[in-house]
Amino acid sequence: MYLLDANTFIEAKNLYYTFGMAPGFWEWLTQAHANRLVASIDAVFDELQKQKDELARWAKQLPSSFWVCDDYNTIPSLGLLAAWASSPQRAYREAARDEFLASADFRLVAIAHAGKHTVVTREVPSPDSKKRILLPDACAAHGVSVTQPFRIYEGLGLNLVQS
């Protein structure tokens, strides 16, 4: 299954798949979830709800199964990821570690690791960064597959046609 990062929703809404112009995209996401192809996590849902906008309202209408929660299977992955982020070998700044460990990204990688899912994000790797822990870097360090949104949209058959 593909687990979507918050930026996949936010950028789609703001840049290229606005609700008014491309409602088929949002319908497709709902259907792709019904087919057990895509989902996200509850921490991403919480991020989206902070905006109180059309995206937040759309997210609220999705089935609760769209928003995967931590469970006991996630605990070992959370521990591994926290130890990695805090390791002196990583040399991340304390603020970067604190921000990451409090973020939806931390939980997204852990849930993907525990469930052998693929993370979907627009972030790009920056393994030498000390100021911020990025999703692709955390995924790579833990053997979690990561991909860009447009790659999966096409691969899963997204086809927007004008009505």
For the ranges 31-45, 80-94, 138-152, the lowest mean pLDDT is seen at 80-94
Q: Is the pLDDT of residue 162 over 80?
A: no
Question: Measured between alpha carbons, how far is 48 from 4 in angstroms, rounded to an integer?
Answer: 12
Total-model pTM: 0.94
The pair phi, psi for residue 68, each rounded to 5°, is -70, 135
Identify which of 67, 146, 131, 136 has the alpha carbon closest to the alpha carbon of residue 99: 131
Q: Is the pLDDT of residue 163 over 70?
A: no
- Name the amino acid, one letter, at 159: N
Helices (H) and strands (E) in the chain, counts: 9, 5
